[in-house]
C-alpha cells in the first residue's frame, strides 16, 4: 500500500498511433515521442535508465543503461471516443467516454447563439473556428463599436468568448461564460467555455492573464471523487483542476508552464500527505505539439528527464510515481491537432516490481491502480494493475524451499553432488531447476541454468532472485559457477539480483554484481 502517489501527465506525449487512428483523422505514422527523438535537443537518459525501452513500441529507445532500479512499464491504449485533454484525463481517472465531446467546425447552431444573446443581452460576432490572436485583430474593432461579444471555437471542444476589458468588465465576462456553460448541455456539452479577455488599441490588442476556463464536470464519479470521499488528499498541479471542473480536489496548485509545474511538484514531495498528487505538464502540448515545434518539444522532454533524475531521489519508501500522457500531439506531422496515440506508463517505487505489463486496453487501468495502491475501494471503468505491480511476498526462505524440492530431482550419478535452484522472475513466478549430469562430463548442465531455461521457455526474461541449495560436508554452500553467473547476467539488473545460498542451516546472500563484477552485458551486440 502506498502513502503518496505522484501521477504526472506529460500532456500529449504519445508513443505511437493507435490501431483506430484513421477514425480520428490520423495516420499510422504518428508517433510524438519517436519523432521528437530525432531532434538534437532530445535527451532521455533517465527514462531510458528506468527501462522505458522495454515498453511495447518503444524498443527503439534501447535497453536500460547505467544500472539502478527499473520502472514497471506498460503501453496504454485509449478506449474513449476522443483524443482531447479532458477525455484523456477523465479516462486516466477511471471514466471512459463513449462519445467525443462535441466540436463545431461550422460554428455553434443558431438556436444556441440566440439563447446566449437573449440571456446576455449582447449580439454575437464571428461564431466559427478561429485563431485566438487573429480573432481579436479581425473582430476587435466591431466588438468595441457595438458591444457584441466575439464567440469562436477551435478544433477542440471549446466555446470561447473574447471581449475587451474596457467594454466588458472581467466579472461580467465570467458571468457570460457561466451563462454559456449552463446553456451548453446534453449534445452540446462542450469540454470548456473559455473567457478570453484582451486589452490595448487596434492593431496592438493583447490577451490578458485573466483567461479563465469553465470546464464540463465529469459525467460520473472519478478516481478523484473516490479518493476525497475516502479522506485521502488530492493535490492538483496545473490544469488538473480545470479538467475536473474543480471536483474531487482537496488542494489546487496553479502552474503556468512545465518549469513551474516541476518545481511545485518537487516542493510537494517535501511535504507529508496521504493520497494523490496529480500533475499536468502542459507545455509539451500547448507550446510545442500544437505549434509543430519538434526541437522545442524535444528540449522540453530533455528538461523533464533531467528533473526526473533528481525527483526520483526525493521519493520515500512508501511512494509510487507514475508517468503517463493523455493523448498524442505529434509535432512532426502536417497538422497541428492532437493525434490518436498510445501513451506510456512508467511506475516507480521501492514497493513496485519492475514488471512489463505489455499493452493495456484502457488508460482507466491507471485510475483503478491508484485507488488500489492507496487502499481505496472504488469501481471505475479500469482494471487494477496493483497486484502485478506490488512486490510478491516470495521470501528468501520460500525460494530456498523451492530450490530444496528441485534438488530432490537432481541427476548426479557421477559426482553425487545434487544441486537445486529456484529462480524468481520479476512478475513473481518461481522457476526451478536441478543439475543433469552426463557420462560425457562436460555436457553436464547446472541447476541454475536449467532453471533459466525453464523460465525463458515460459516467457520470463527478467529475474530478481535466485536460491541455490547444494553443498557437502567439505563445502557447505554451492555458489553458482562462472557460466551460470554469466547466464544470469543476461536477464537481470546485476545490482538488484539477489543470490541466496543455504546449506540447510545458514544462509548467505549476495548480489550478482558482487559475484560477477564488471560483467559482460552484450549491449553492443544487441540488434533488437
Nearer to ligand THU, 141 or 444 (CB): 444
Task: Give strand pairing partners of 4.
Answer: 275, 319
Nearer to ligand THU, 438 or 495 (CB): 438
Edge-to-edge, what's the strand order for the sheet holding 420-425? 430-434, 420-425, 463-469, 498-502, 507-511
Q: How far is the CB of 511 from ligand THU (least distance, A)?
A: 16
Q: How far is the CB of 436 from ligand THU (least distance, A)?
A: 7
Grid look-up 464519479 returns 221
Nearer to ligand THU, 448 or 513 (CB): 448
Nearer to ligand THU, 124 or 497 (CB): 497
Q: Find the helix or strand (DSSP H, E) in which 269 lies.
A: helix 258-269
Q: Which of residues 288-327 bind ligand THU (CB under 6 A)?
A: none
Q: Which of 199, 229, 254, 481 binds ligand THU (CB under 6 A)?
A: 481
Q: Which of 65, 395, 415, 495 binds ligand THU (CB under 6 A)?
A: 415
The grid cell for 400 is 530456498
Q: Which of residues 228-257 bind ligand THU (CB under 6 A)?
A: none
The SS3 assignment for 364 reads helix
- Say if CB 71 and CB 44 are below 8 A apart: no
Say how far residue 284 (Cα) sits from the centre of its chain: 14
Residue 285 near ligand THU by CB under 6 A: no
Q: Find the helix or strand (DSSP H, E) in which 132 lies.
A: helix 132-146
DSSP string across 432-465: EEE-B--SSGGG-B-HHHHHHHHHHHTT---EEE
Q: Which of 127, 280, 343, 478 binds ligand THU (CB under 6 A)?
A: 478
C-alpha angle 175/180/184, rounded to 5°?
150
Nearer to ligand THU, 359 or 415 (CB): 415
Residue 495 near ligand THU by CB under 6 A: no
Nearer to ligand THU, 146 or 415 (CB): 415
Sequence length of the chain is 528
How much is the CA Rg of the chain, to the nearest whole Å? 28
Q: Which of 72, 484, 512, 516 binds ligand THU (CB under 6 A)?
A: 484
Residue 497 near ligand THU by CB under 6 A: no
Whole-angstrom distance, CA of residue 177 vs CA of residue 213: 9
The grid cell for 475 is 563445502
Closest CA to 57 of 71, 43, 38, 76: 76
Residue 277 near ligand THU by CB under 6 A: no
Q: How far is the CB of 470 from ligand THU (least distance, A)?
A: 6
Residue 467 near ligand THU by CB under 6 A: no
Q: How far is the CB of 394 from ligand THU (least distance, A)?
A: 21
Nearer to ligand THU, 273 or 477 (CB): 477
DSSP string across 203-239: T--EE-TT-EEEEPPPSS--HHHHHHHTT-EEEEETT
Residue 395 near ligand THU by CB under 6 A: no
Residue 113 near ligand THU by CB under 6 A: no
The grid cell for 399 is 525460494
Whole-angstrom distance, CA of residue 202 vs CA of residue 150: 15
* Span from 151-159, 240-248, 394-402, 413-421 in contact with ligand THU (CB under 6 A): 413-421
Residue 199 near ligand THU by CB under 6 A: no
Q: Which of residues 418-457 bind ligand THU (CB under 6 A)?
A: 419, 435, 437, 444, 446-448
Q: How far is the CB of 392 from ligand THU (least distance, A)?
A: 25
Which residues form the interface with ligand THU (CB under 6 A)?
412, 415, 417, 419, 435, 437, 444, 446-448, 478, 480-481, 484
Amino acid at each position: 500500500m502506498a502513502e503518496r502517489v505522484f501521477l504526472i501527465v506529460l500532456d500529449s506525449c504519445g508513443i505511437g498511433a493507435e490501431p483506430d487512428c484513421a477514425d480520428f483523422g490520423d495516420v499510422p505514422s504518428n508517433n510524438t515521442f519517436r519523432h521528437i527523438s530525432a531532434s538534437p535537443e532530445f535527451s532521455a537518459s533517465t527514462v531510458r535508465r528506468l527501462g522505458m525501452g522495454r515498453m511495447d513500441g518503444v524498443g527503439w529507445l534501447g535497453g536500460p543503461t547505467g544500472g539502478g532500479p527499473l520502472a514497471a512499464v506498460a503501453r496504454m491504449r485509449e478506449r474513449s471516443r476522443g483524443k482531447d485533454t479532458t477525455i484523456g484525463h477523465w479516462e486516466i481517472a477511471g471514466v471512459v467516454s463513449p462519445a467525443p465531446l462535441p466540436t463545431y467546425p461550422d460554428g455553434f447552431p443558431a438556436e444556441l447563439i440566440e439563447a446566449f444573446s437573449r440571456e446576455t443581452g449582447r449580439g454575437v460576432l464571428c461564431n466559427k473556428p478561429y485563431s485566438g490572436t487573429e480573432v481579436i485583430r479581425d473582430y476587435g474593432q466591431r466588438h468595441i463599436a457595438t458591444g457584441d461579444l466575439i464567440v469562436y471555437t477551435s478544433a477542440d471542444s471549446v466555446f470561447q468568448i473574447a471581449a475587451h476589458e474596457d467594454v466588458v468588465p472581467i466579472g461580467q465576462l465570467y458571468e457570460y461564460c457561466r451563462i454559456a456553460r449552463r446553456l451548453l448541455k446534453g449534445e452540446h456539452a462542450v469540454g470548456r467555455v473559455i473567457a478570453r479577455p484582451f486589452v490595448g488599441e487596434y492593431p496592438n490588442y493583447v490577451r490578458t492573464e485573466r483567461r479563465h476556463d469553465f470546464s464540463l464536470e465529469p459525467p460520473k464519479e472519478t478516481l478523484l471523487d473516490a479518493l476525497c470521499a475516502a479522506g485521502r488528499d488530492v493535490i492538483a498541479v496545473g490544469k488538473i483542476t480545470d479538467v475536473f471542473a474543480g471536483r474531487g480536489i482537496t488542494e489546487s496548485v496553479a502552474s503556468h508552464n512545465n518549469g513551474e509545474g516541476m518545481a511545485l511538484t518537487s516542493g510537494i514531495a517535501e511535504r507529508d500527505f496521504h493520497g494523490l498528487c496529480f500533475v499536468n505538464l502542459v507545455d509539451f502540448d500547448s507550446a510545442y505539439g500544437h505549434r509543430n515545434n519538434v526541437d522545442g518539444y524535444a528540449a522540453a522532454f530533455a528538461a523533464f528527464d533531467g528533473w526526473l533524475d533528481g525527483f526520483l531521489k526525493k521519493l520515500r519508501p512508501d511512494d509510487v510515481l507514475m508517468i503517463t500522457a493523455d493523448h498524442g500531439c505529434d509535432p512532426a506531422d502536417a497538422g497541428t491537432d492532437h493525434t490518436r496515440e498510445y501513451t506510456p506508463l512508467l511506475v516507480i517505487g521501492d514497493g513496485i516490481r519492475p514488471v512489463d505489463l505489455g499493452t493495456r486496453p484502457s488508460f482507466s487501468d491507471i485510475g483503478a491502480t491508484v485507488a488500489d495502491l492507496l487502499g481505496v475501494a472504488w469501481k471505475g471503468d479500469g482494471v487494477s494493475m496493483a497486484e502485478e505491480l506490488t512486490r510478491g511476498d516470495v521470501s528468501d526462505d520460500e525460494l530456498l524451499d523451492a530450490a530444496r524440492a528441485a534438488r530432490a530431482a537432481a541427476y548426479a550419478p557421477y559426482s553425487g553432488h545434487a544441486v537445486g535452484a529456484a529462480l524468481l522472475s520479476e512478475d513473481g513466478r518461481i522457476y526451478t531447476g536441478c543439475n543433469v549430469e552426463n557420462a560425457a562430463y562436460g555436457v553436464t548442465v547446472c541447476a541454475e541454468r536449467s532453471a533459466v531455461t525453464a523460465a525463458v521457455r515460459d516467457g520470463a526474461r527478467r529475474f530478481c532472485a535466485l536460491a541455490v541449495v547444494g553443498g557437502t560436508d567439505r563445502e557447505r554452500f554451492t555458489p553458482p559457477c562462472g557460466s551460470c553467473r554469466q547466464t544470469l547476467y543476461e536477464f537481470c539488473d546485476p545490482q538488484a539480483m539477489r543470490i541466496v545460498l543455504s546449506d540447510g542451516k545458514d544462509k548467505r546472500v549476495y548480489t550478482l554484481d558482487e559475484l560477477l563484477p564488471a560483467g559482460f552485458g552484450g549491449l553492443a551486440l544487441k540488434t533488437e
